[in-house]
Structure 1
């Protein structure tokens, strides 16, 4: 049995479907609410859904778990409720850490590339406390993930109990199926596809930094299938622990992304630039690129999906969907 928190969400539901396809038993901890989120898990066989508030009680009577994948979080980079974010992203992760340590269950949890802030200190997934101390996240969400990573590394340094395997995954800019429920926090691929499919031009943020042209902001865009491949590989290699970047290792521009969507739909590009929203000024990453050396050196050999390949596959799925995304 596997437990996947956030299992009906974007990355979580893709993992749940992959585990189910392998014949694994999977319990989800999540809320479906009254929207179409249930569609994310309709292709999976699940053992049940546990509301997040009931998770501590469920865990005390849980069957033997092969691993806990903790992907549930308050993930909006614009959220300002510090108590909500700390409770969901920091405190819950640490409680799961303690439970997994006590019950000898591997824990694979979602960190974030948002921990790197503006990237002044690079994007090296180094778990050394001194390296972590130099990072400066730009928003509350990034801080909550960074604080979690720091506390875990501190507990390890102090020799406190730890799960038999642990991995904190710094996901970069993930895109792919099952993200429509995320609203504003869905990937740029989905937002731009919606504009283009509606016959509108694709709008991108104009640059407010002279070293970057409009549309030239660079991100490491990673298809969700690559994220799932990394998590499944880690679960199959219980001796591998640490903080790991999950990306392609190659930064691409937002303009490249928009052009890839147009190419997938066989349309000429029509890109317009709009001012950066005020709530993102000073909190917007202009460059991210995952260093993948540590996970590759550990043996992970899944080839990254190129931007053009991943966007084309996703756009064709969106175009063919029975229910609009």
Structure 2
């Protein structure tokens, strides 16, 4: 039996698809605290914790603390108590505009820092715990994320709908470490690393400009430039790049788009 939280989300759905032949207990935000009554922990072989409020613009501190921090710590305590391996989603947003220094720029990122520190303080109590600081994830199945979808998906939708995609001015200077969701699922489920918190990205950043150009090429679209929004000033990561943690052939955006 495997527990998956956040199974209705973009990444959680991919784990669910991959584990379709397993018995899976599915947990979402709306039923997460009712999960306290679950009493079959002795049958659980793995916890995959993906659930969270992941909107980086959310300012509801009570909700973020409730779901992202308190529930995560409670789930960790169950993993420790029943000695169940646990793999959970952290985020590269903990680094802010640095590549290796904790410097969160929004409340979502702060919640991930708190959980990571809790895990680090208690790591020897787990049978196995792996936290994955996902970098900028893209792939099929992002439609429901709307404004929080990856640039790959947003640009694709814009071009298909209007024939043009919108890029912020200066997008050649905004570089992110984009990683395909299928690579995420493969690495999380199939790695043999010990307990720890790991960067999970390609270690090869790509500019928003290049992503836009690739999508425009794929769908024969044009690029329109728009001013950078004031409300994102100081809260927007301009550069992300994962530490080299994995010996793995990552999917490139060009390969994903089949160019």
Normalising by the smaller structure, the TM-score range is over 0.9
How many angstroms does 1:91 deviate by?
1.0
CA distance in 1, matches of 2:163, 2:172: 17
Instruction: Give the secondary-structure state (helix, strand or coil) at the position aligned to 1:222.
Output: strand
Instruction: Give the secondary-structure state (helix, strand or coil) at the position aligned to 2:19.
Output: helix
Summarize the alignment of residues 55-74 of structure 1 with structure 2, pairs less than 5 Å apart: 55-58=35-38, 60-62=39-41, 64-74=43-53
Deviation string for 1:233-282 (max 9, x for gaps)?
13xx3x621111111110001111112212323x1x52122112222111
Mapped contact 1:261–1:312 kept (Cα < 8 A): no
CA distance in 2, matches of 1:215, 1:201: 18
1:288 and 2:240 matched: yes
Instruction: Give the secondary-structure state (helix, strand or coil) at the position aligned to 1:291.
Output: coil
Mapped contact 2:52–2:68 kept (Cα < 8 A): yes
CA distance in 2, matches of 1:182, 1:7: 14
Deviation string for 1:49-85 (max 9, x for gaps)?
x922321112x33451111000000000000011110
- Give 1:54's aligned residue: 34
How many angstroms does 1:154 deviate by?
2.0
Mapped contact 2:49–2:88 kept (Cα < 8 A): yes
CA distance in 2, matches of 1:109, 1:311: 28
- Give 2:155's aligned residue: 192
CA distance in 2, matches of 1:151, 1:63: 24
CA distance in 1, matches of 2:35, 2:258: 38
1:95 and 2:47 matched: no
- What is the RMSD of the two structures over their aligned residues, measured on CA atoms? 1.8
- Give 2:223's aligned residue: 271
CA distance in 2, matches of 1:88, 1:13: 19
Mapped contact 2:216–2:223 kept (Cα < 8 A): no
Q: 2:59 aligns with which of 80, 100, 108?
A: 80
Mapped contact 1:189–1:311 kept (Cα < 8 A): no
1:303 and 2:249 matched: yes
Mapped contact 2:46–2:84 kept (Cα < 8 A): yes
TM-score for both structures, normalised by structure 2: 0.94
CA distance in 2, matches of 1:72, 1:244: 18
CA distance in 1, matches of 2:230, 2:89: 28
CA distance in 1, matches of 2:71, 2:28: 13
- Give 1:318's aligned residue: none
- Give 2:105's aligned residue: 138
Q: 1:218 aligns with which of 175, 178, 191?
A: 175
Farther off after superposition, 173-182 or 140-149 = 173-182
Summarize the alignment of residues 220-239 of structure 1 with structure 2, pairs less than 5 Å apart: 220-234=177-191, 237=192
- Give 1:247's aligned residue: 201
CA distance in 1, matches of 2:212, 2:75: 39
Deviation string for 1:169-207 (max 9, x for gaps)?
000110112221122111111111111002332111123
TM-score for both structures, normalised by structure 1: 0.75
Identify unmatched segments of 5+ residues in structure 1: 32-49, 124-133, 208-213, 314-325
Mapped contact 2:172–2:207 kept (Cα < 8 A): yes
CA distance in 2, matches of 1:169, 1:152: 12
CA distance in 2, matches of 1:7, 1:84: 19
Q: 1:206 aligns with which of 169, 182, 189?
A: 169
Report runs of 4+ in structure 1 exceeding 6 Å deviation: none
Q: In proportion to residue count, which structure has more strand?
A: 2
